[in-house]
Amino acid sequence: MSSKVLAGPPVLRFAPSPNGLLHLGHAYSALCNERVAEELNGRLLLRIEDLDRTRCKPRYEAAIADDLAWLGLRFEAPARRQSEHAGDYAAALDALAAQDLVYPCFCSRAEVARASSGRDPDGAPLYSGACRALSASQAAARIERGEKRASRLDMGRAIDRVPARLFWREFGEGSTPVAEAAEPERWGDIVLSGRDLAASYHLSVTVDDALQGVTDVVRGRDLIAATSVHRLLQELLDLPAPGYRHHRLVLDLDGTKLAKRRHSPSLAKFRACGVSPAAIRAALGFGDGDSGGLAVALS
């Protein structure tokens, strides 16, 4: 466990990415955040995770605001927009680099895939570490030539740097935490900043949770493996460790989790079809309204 203790009222955050329309899975996550905030008498913040400039669009950010207001969810204003905070991520990257834990990687996506011998917990190819072997002068020459690069964490070295096995407090959807052991080694040398990305998901979310004073992270179980990396980064950057509440996922009709890229029905669509926010809340297990026949499976 981290030795740092967070003082003050509990702070929760909902952190959608404006790269598509919100669906029932997002509604469930936002409502879980609202419920925990109410139970703990905490603050509820909104964070717009818009660092991926190719996929994130202002119209989706506007749709997020509409959908959340329609559902009756209230967040403290203003929301934190990640694209406005590149300096915070750069400072964290510098702090890791100062510990000699960062190296430049010039490999393209295809090269990473070709040389990979395994998969990370998200199913993406594990990085072989090819660029870790470059000397400082070789890397400097390639940077000089204007080659695009990412920054990667030297995972082996980073794990050696923390004093002991790391754990986090995992509540799931309950109220009693268990100590969950972090396994950051499963992720290999993760990207910290990308060729066209100010900071990766792992780095930005860890920095933001700390800067926003988040005490309780409520998010889907699909992100539970990522928490191993976040705990490691917290330790390396001397940041506090929140408690984590990874909740069940809303399933699609075919039993897989909802996803924007598979065009799962959006909240906007339900709204356009005359479904009420109370029905959405009821179908997801919140409130005692009538779900109007809307049935939802969670797993």
Nearer to ligand GLU, 61 or 111 (CB): 61
Which pairs with CB-CB distance under 8 Å and at least 24 residues apart come from 136-145? 139/103, 139/104, 142/104, 142/106, 143/104
Give yes or no for residue 258 binding ligand GLU (CB under 6 A).
Answer: no
**Cα Rg, the chain, nearest whole Å:** 20
Site for ligand GLU (CB under 6 A): which residue of 65, 90, 223, 278? 223
DSSP string across 19-39: SS--BHHHHHHHHHHHHHHHH
Convert residues 48-87 into a mask of x (bound to ligand GLU by CB under 6 A) and - (unbound): -x--------------------------------------
Q: Locate tokens 């792992």: which residue? A: 202
Burial of 27-62, coded b for 16+ CB within 10 Å and e otherwise, reads bbbbbbbbbbbeeeebbbbbbbbbbbeeebeeebbe
Give yes or no for residue 18 binding ligand GLU (CB under 6 A).
Answer: no
Nearer to ligand GLU, 131 or 182 (CB): 182
Shortest approach of ligand GLU to residue 13 CB, angstroms?
A: 8
Q: What angle do CA 109, 112, 116 make, to 5 degrees?
A: 145
Give yes or no for residue 44 binding ligand GLU (CB under 6 A).
Answer: no
Shortest approach of ligand GLU to residue 186 CB, angstroms?
A: 18
Interacting positions 185-214 with ligand GLU (CB under 6 A): 205
Nearer to ligand GLU, 15 or 101 (CB): 15
Give yes or no for residue 227 binding ligand GLU (CB under 6 A).
Answer: no
Give yes or no for residue 33 binding ligand GLU (CB under 6 A).
Answer: no
Stretch that binds ligand GLU, among 12-20, 119-127, 158-166, 192-200 (CB under 6 A): 12-20
Shortest approach of ligand GLU to residue 272 CB, angstroms?
A: 22
Q: What angle do CA 25, 275, 218 make, to 5 degrees?
A: 25
Q: d(Cα 10, Cα 25) in Å, to the nearest integer? A: 24
Shortest approach of ligand GLU to residue 190 CB, angstroms?
A: 15
Are 223 and 149 spatial neighbours (Cβ–Cβ below 8 Å)? no
Phi then psi for residue 56, to 5 deg, are -85, 140
Binding positions for ligand GLU, rule: CB under 6 A: 15-17, 49, 205, 219, 223
